[in-house]
């Protein structure tokens, strides 16, 4: 998530560069921080991915970490009964250890970090990098799990978050000025203001960029409309899921800095579902794209609940997040547990039993 549209109800106004600044979260290492996180070392499997790798094809090459994949009893129990159970993951932001622990707790990976869930289906809601110590390690893990899950009859897929757009823009355009509507702005400056990690940029390779640029922005699975951001801005990009995803990919393919900035800016909007009229905003997306509930990341649950103050708040005690937050007349499920502010990295099986 990025602090793009403020912390109140979504309104039309002119953006300024400060709008793309996020709070100084607990555990943030800073743009040039050095971490002792083991993921700061380039993973040994990194060069195993061919150019043009995509995580969603069922014929992906298998990356073996043993003679066979062991399936956890619970997630793999649907092996002969149709699709496996559905799981979603909130914003990760470079917290690789926390992600592995959360996935293992749900039986999705084993102690070695290998896929162990058989035919289970796993969706990441975007924002893999920035703020945390090992964003590239997170991307490498998701790419590898995509291959391992496909080999086991399940899948692991991911959505485009605003921080994927930010990292792509910082790499492609750097300090190239863009039309921000409030004077000069650059992707590089916005990336640094939003917790960009030098270790991530140093390790970012072409296959990471290609993978990110091909991610979908919207999907519907089992009646759940999956998006990254809690905004109606998706409606600006098409009247169907396919149209939105095609428009986002085409925008990135054209490689125009101003166009990509506008896409990034719109993906930073938030709180459309929280305040008065929020349920109607959710319904506008469900009516257009399908589904009976929307599932999103981007806005941390403590923000949605009003439990976090301004970026000048000196209280460093972490918020208490037990699980997903259901709101907007029960139509929206928030999945960003605020791991960057010492909250919780959420992995949740759907549907929710409520």
Convert the pLDDT of each residue in 241-289 to its tens digit.
Answer: 999 999 999 999 999 999 999 999 999 999 999 989 999 999 999 999 9
CA dihedral 206, 209, 214, 219 (to 10 degrees): 140
Residues 6+ apart with CB under 8 A from 160: 126, 212, 215, 216, 217, 228, 248, 267
* Mean pLDDT to the nearest integer, 171-182: 91
Report residue 180's pLDDT band, with 50, 70 and 90 as the boundaries.
confident
Which pairs from 241-248 meet CB under 8 Å and 24+ separation?
241/216, 241/289, 241/290, 244/217, 244/218, 244/289, 245/216, 245/217, 245/218, 248/160, 248/216, 248/217
On whether the CB atoms of residues 161 and 78 are closer than 8 A, the answer is no
Quick check: 133 pLDDT over 70?
yes
Beta bridge partners of 123: 88, 157
Least confident of 31-45, 62-76, 333-347: 31-45
Instruction: Count Cα neighbours of 76 within 13 Å in the Cβ-side half-sphere.
Output: 17
């Amino acid at each position: 998530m990025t602090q793009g549209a403020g912390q109140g109800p979504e309104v039309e106004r002119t953006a300024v560069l400060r709008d793309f600044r996020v709070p100084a979260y607990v555990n943030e290492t800073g743009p040039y921080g050095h971490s002792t996180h083991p993921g700061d070392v380039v993973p040994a499997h990194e060069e195993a991915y061919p150019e043009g790798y995509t995580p969603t094809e069922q014929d992906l090459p298998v990356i073996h970490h043993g003679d066979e994949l062991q399936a956890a009893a619970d997630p793999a129990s649907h092996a002969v009964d149709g699709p496996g159970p559905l799981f979603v993951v909130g914003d990760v932001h470079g917290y690789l250890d926390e992600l592995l622990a959360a996935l293992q707790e749900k039986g999705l990976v084993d102690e070695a970090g290998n896929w162990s869930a058989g035919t289970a289906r796993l969706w990441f809601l975007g924002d893999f990098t920035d703020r945390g110590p090992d964003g590239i390690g997170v991307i490498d893990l998701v790419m590898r799990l995509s291959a391992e899950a496909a080999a086991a009859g399940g899948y692991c897929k991911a959505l485009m978050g605003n921080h994927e757009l930010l990292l792509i823009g910082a790499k492609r355009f750097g300090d190239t000025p863009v039309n921000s509507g409030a004077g000069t702005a650059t992707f590089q400056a916005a990336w640094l203001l939003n917790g960009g990690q030098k270790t991530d940029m140093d390790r970012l390779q072409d296959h990471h960029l290609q993978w990110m640029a091909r991610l979908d922005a919207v999907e519907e699975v089992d009646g759940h409309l999956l998006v990254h951001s809690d905004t109606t801005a998706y409606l600006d990009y098409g009247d169907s899921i396919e149209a939105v995803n095609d428009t986002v990919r085409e925008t990135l393919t054209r490689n125009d800095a101003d166009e990509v900035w506008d896409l990034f800016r719109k993906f930073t909007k938030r709180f459309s579902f929280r305040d008065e009229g929020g349920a109607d905003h959710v319904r506008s997306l469900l009516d257009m794209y399908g589904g009976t509930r929307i599932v999103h990341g981007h806005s941390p649950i403590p923000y949605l609940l009003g439990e976090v103050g301004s970026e000048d708040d000196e209280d460093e005690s972490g918020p208490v997040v037990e699980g997903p937050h259901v709101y907007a007349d029960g139509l929206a499920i928030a999945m960003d547990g605020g791991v960057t502010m010492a909250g919780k990295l959420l992995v949740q099986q759907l549907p929710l039993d409520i």
